[in-house]
Structure 1
Amino acid sequence: MTVHNVRIGVLDNDACAMQYITLMLNQLNHRNGLELSLWSTTFPTRAIQECQSGNSPTNILLLDMALNGVTGPQVARILHQVSPETAIIGMTSYEPELYRAEATQAGIPTILDKTTLSEQLPSAIIDVLRTPHPTFTPAAVPTGREPTAMPRLTSAEQRILTLSASGLNAKQIATRLGISADTVFSHRRNIKAKFHASEWHDVITACRDAHII
């Protein structure tokens, strides 16, 4: 039996669903010739960074179609640019047909129904490994706005960026995270440096333009 060493990422804005899917993947490990290495996140920025510049290549990303402030197809368009070797399997709690057209345009060939994920996932992974990974067609990217590679952020920086994008100020973020406002400002300075931005709103604008917050 051929053994496939596969690195799989899970991006889902529902932490409980993400943990369930990760547990399901762990149960598939060492079965059907699969040796799995897993990572998971609720942050689109983290998923993009991990696929783009993780310690080892991500072979498959399980991508929720409806995330906070961004859709799965929007994330997929960025991933095809920064990590073209990563295959994407879509998943949704809603009717998959609702996303079919947009997903196809974004280079997501498969959308799984979360209610039957345990039945569909093993064969979907095997199908991805057996099928040559198609090249993303640039025509599927909205004209006039090319996805760009994002700087690598820490988990704390990702949380602060997400909370800032939701409209919270530094004091509110500090209260939410149980840290001081000075610490929030320190993280913001580090984030601005990584984005080569002089103003905080420029960081938020860049992330919104890239459809990751």
Structure 2
Amino acid sequence: MAHMTEQLEFAEYCGNSTVAIVDNDKNSSQFIVNSIHEHIPLCSVLWTDTDGRNAIDLCLDKSTAPDLLLLDMSLEGVQGPSVCRRIRRRDGTVKILAISSFSLNSYRQVIRDAGAQGIVSKNNIRLMLETMICLLVKSPALEGFESAMTAHVRISHEPNGSRLTVREEELLDYVAATGASNEDVSARFGISVETVRKHLNHIIHKLHVTNLLQAVISWRNTRHE
């Protein structure tokens, strides 16, 4: 990641803004914290965590909820999109900026549907900080994404989503976004093909459809694609 020396535009308007970070790479998280302190000094980092479940609890507690959450897509346990959706189902105030070291194309639609306000690469710290400033002081969401409140209203009224477990949401998100086979899903999530089949059968049953294609269509329709 390149080092910056110049002042970032509008950084001085971030006074009293708060940020939190959930990233399973502690070195990456600390680098982001240091960069925020150096280039957006009026912005406070409330907390960092490596566990998505902890992040959900912290964001839903008014005493620890940040103005903006930086959310890594690849976490241990609960994955980024499910963390985002769990927060957004119950909250419409915390803005969520997804971050990833991998290709953003594979996550963009999934994280948009999960209620985030944007996504940016972890490999470009300047762009990440500029995007943070944009969301904190200039815009409710990046182009193509919903505001936190609009996403909250949509997701909180999804009749199907509340019946699925975190893991089921993750698998269905992935299949809907990529068209992955059972073998691909098995490799992506580190579970057996038989376990994948069981999860998908549970999803089909819970969504009251007869096959996976119908489940994907139903899942997409509830997200107003």
Report the TM-score, using the length of structure 1 for normalisation.
0.60
Q: Cα offset for 1:144?
A: 5.0
The total of aligned residue pairs comes to 144
Confirm or deny: 8 A CA contact 1:81 1:147 kept in the other structure: no
Q: Deviations over 1:87-140 (max 9, x none)?
A: 000110101111111111112232111111x21122111211222344212279
Q: Pick the aligned partner of 1:45 from 53, 69, 84.
A: 53
- Alignment of 1:143 with 2:143, yes or no, is no
**CA distance 1:144–1:6, change in 2 (3 Å):** closer
Q: 1:134-184 CA distances to partner (integer Å, 9 max, x unpaired)?
A: 421227958152589xxxxxxxxxxxxxxxxxxxxxxxxxxxxxxxxxxxx
C-alpha separation in 2, matches of 1:23 and 1:57 = 20
Distance 1:54 1:103 in 2: 23
Identity in percent: 28
- Structure 2: which 5+ residue stretches go unaligned? 1-11, 141-146, 166-225
How big is each residue's C-alpha offset from its partner over 1:32-60, in whole Å with a ceiling of 9 and x where there is no partner?
Answer: xx432431000112211111115253100
Matching of residue 13 in structure 1 with residue 24 in structure 2 = yes
Corresponding residue for 2:179?
none
Whether 1:126 and 2:126 are equivalent positions in the alignment is no
Contact kept? 2:37, 2:43, Cα under 8 Å? no
Counterpart of 1:93 in structure 2 is 101
Specify the code of the residue in structure 1 equivalent to 2:102: Y
Say if 1:145 and 1:90 are closer, same or farther in 2 by CA, change over 3 A.
same
- Quote the residue 2:211 is aligned against: none
- The reply to whether residue 29 of structure 1 matches residue 40 of structure 2 is yes
Q: Quick one: structure 1 residues 95 and 85, their matched pair in 2 at CA, closer, same or farther if it must change by over 3 Å?
A: same
Alpha-carbon distance change, 78 to 5 in structure 1, aligned in 2, over 3 angstroms: same
| Contact residue 8 and residue 62 of structure 1 kept, 8 A | yes
Partner of 1:200 in structure 2?
none
Q: Residues 35, 21 of structure 1: CA spacing in aligned structure 2 closer, same or farther, 3 A cutoff?
A: closer
Q: Distance in 2 between matches of 1:145 and 1:83?
A: 15
Cα distance in 1 for partners of 2:78, 2:131 equals 24
Structure 1's 2 and 92: CA in aligned 2 closer, same or farther, altered over 3 A? closer
Q: 1:35 to 1:92 in 2, by over 3 A?
A: closer
- Counterpart code for 2:162: R
Q: 1:29 to 1:55 in 2, by over 3 A?
A: same
Structure 1 or 2: larger strand share? Answer: 1
Give the counterpart of 2:70 among 62, 70, 95. Answer: 62
CA contact (8 A) 1:78 1:147 kept: no
Structure 1 segment 145-160 matched on structure 2, within 5 A: 145=162
Ranked by relative contact order (alpha carbons within 8 Å, sequence separation 6 or more), the top structure is 1
Scaled by the length of structure 2, what TM-score is found? Answer: 0.57
Distance 1:96 1:141 in 2: 25
Partner of 1:113: 121
User: Partners of 1:100 and 1:140 in 2: how far apart?
Assistant: 22
Cα distance in 2, alignment partners of residues 3 and 109 from structure 1? 18
